[in-house]
């Protein structure tokens, strides 16, 4: 496999040999069993069906998602293939645009060997007063992606927020019972019949209303849409009270502000990484993703 090493490095291809193992022939053999008798068995053999990685290429493919603000330009680009990263148009195409790019590695027959989302160059975002803003469609989809959900037969069902395992709705629900996109079930709420996608989205919007208000009421410096979306995600995750009194708000509102504890806005943002007093890998990742959204306009999806 060493002969392919340079190709892998150039393409950035994460090679897993198990992806190319195929079943070959069955060879009859005679096996001496305990007890001294011989039994006929078959030996399974395997082969490798390897593409010629020296002939693969990297391409970028445009994907248009049907959101509330779908436009003709987005629809016309759906499926467009770009062979040079310099040819990729800037995005988002318009406010709340949900288009995205994948970076694909394909062989000479056009078979996709690897596909992953590509962080594109973006248009310069316009700034507005926070009090006049609301979360974008893209921000909602990003929150759905990060909060996660559990479905059966296309309906959202009750699950354990910690394990993501389904919970039977019969009888009292345990602590952490959740439905939709991270909605912790409160006493008196009945979701035993599950939720449609529309109902789950409406529930999410109700849940983030408080986070939107605390951002609108406490951020006085103009924001771009990606910055607003990132702040709503942070407020939603850490709680409105924590957000309102946070060092992050001080940094955003006063560009001359410097904290003795958190010397940069990034450090103040990423300090919110603990759950029940312990540093959480999940929260470290979420803060990193939010910071990329706020600082670089990158909406990273899993």
Q: For residues 137 and 281, state if they share a domain.
A: yes
Q: For residues 154 and 272, state if they share a domain.
A: yes
> pLDDT tens digits, residue range 185-227?
999 999 999 999 999 999 999 999 999 999 999 999 999 999 9
Q: For residues 136 and 113, state if they share a domain.
A: no
Q: For residues 135 and 191, state if they share a domain.
A: yes
Q: CA-to-CA distance for 71 and 236, rounded, in angstroms?
A: 30
pTM of the model: 0.61
Are 99 and 62 contacting, i.e. CB atoms less than 8 angstroms apart? yes
Residue 224, sorted as left (phi over 0), alpha (psi -120 to 50) or beta, turns out to be: beta
Find the CATH number of the domain harbouring 286. 1.10.530.40
The answer as to whether 302 is a domain residue is no
**Could you tell me how many residues make up the chain?**
302
Domain that holds residue 210: 127-296
Q: CA-to-CA distance for 9 and 15, rounded, in angstroms?
A: 10
Q: For residues 140 and 66, state if they share a domain.
A: no
Sign of the four-CA dihedral 238, 99, 118, 104: positive
Alpha carbon of 205 to those of 18, 70, 134, 135, 180: distances in Å?
A: 43, 20, 11, 9, 11
Q: For residues 257 and 269, state if they share a domain.
A: yes
Q: For residues 211 and 157, state if they share a domain.
A: yes
The pLDDT of residue 69 is above 50:
yes
- Return the structure tokens found at 281: 């890998």
pLDDT above 70 coverage of the chain, percent: 85
Q: For residues 145 and 238, state if they share a domain.
A: yes
Give rounded-to-5 percent helix, strand, coil for the chain. 35, 25, 40
Q: For residues 114 and 156, state if they share a domain.
A: no
> pLDDT tens digits, residue range 232-257?
999 999 999 999 999 999 999 999 99
Structural domain count, the chain: 3
Are 113 and 56 contacting, i.e. CB atoms less than 8 angstroms apart? yes
> pLDDT tens digits, residue range 263-297?
999 999 999 999 888 999 999 999 999 999 999 88
> pLDDT tens digits, residue range 131-188?
999 999 889 999 999 999 999 999 999 999 888 899 987 778 888 899 999 999 999 9
Burial of 221 (0-12, 13-18, 19+ CB in 10 A): middle
């Amino acid at each position: 496999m060493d002969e392919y090493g340079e190709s892998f490095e150039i393409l950035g291809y994460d090679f897993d040999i198990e992806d190319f193992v195929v079943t070959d022939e069955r060879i009859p053999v005679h096996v001496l069993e305990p007890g001294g008798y011989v039994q006929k068995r078959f030996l399974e053999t395997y082969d490798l069906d390897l593409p010629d990685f020296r002939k693969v290429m990297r391409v970028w493919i445009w994907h248009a998602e049907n959101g509330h603000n779908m436009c003709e330009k987005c629809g016309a680009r759906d499926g467009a293939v770009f062979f040079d990263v310099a040819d990729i148009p800037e995005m988002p195409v318009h406010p709340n645009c949900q288009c995205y790019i994948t970076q694909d590695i394909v062989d000479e027959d056009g078979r996709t060997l690897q596909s992953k989302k590509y962080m594109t160059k973006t248009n310069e975002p316009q700034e507005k007063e926070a009090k006049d803003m609301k979360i974008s469609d893209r921000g909602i989809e990003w929150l759905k992606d990060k909060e996660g959900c559990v479905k059966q037969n296309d309906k959202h069902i009750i699950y354990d927020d910690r394990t993501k395992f389904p919970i039977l709705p019969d009888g009292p629900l345990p602590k952490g019972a959740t439905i939709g996109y991270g909605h912790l079930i409160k006493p008196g709420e009945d979701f035993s019949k599950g939720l449609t996608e529309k109902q789950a989205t409406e529930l999410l919007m109700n849940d983030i209303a408080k986070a939107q208000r605390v951002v609108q009421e406490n951020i006085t410096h103009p924001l771009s849409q990606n910055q607003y979306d990132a702040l709503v995600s942070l407020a939603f995750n850490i709680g409105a009270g924590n957000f309102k009194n946070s060092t992050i708000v001080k940094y955003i509102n006063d560009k001359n502000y410097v904290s003795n504890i958190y010397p940069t806005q990034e450090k103040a943002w990423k300090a919110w990484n603990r759950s029940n007093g312990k540093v959480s890998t999940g929260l470290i990742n979420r803060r990193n993703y939010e910071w990329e959204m706020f600082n670089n306009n990158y909406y990273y999806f899993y």
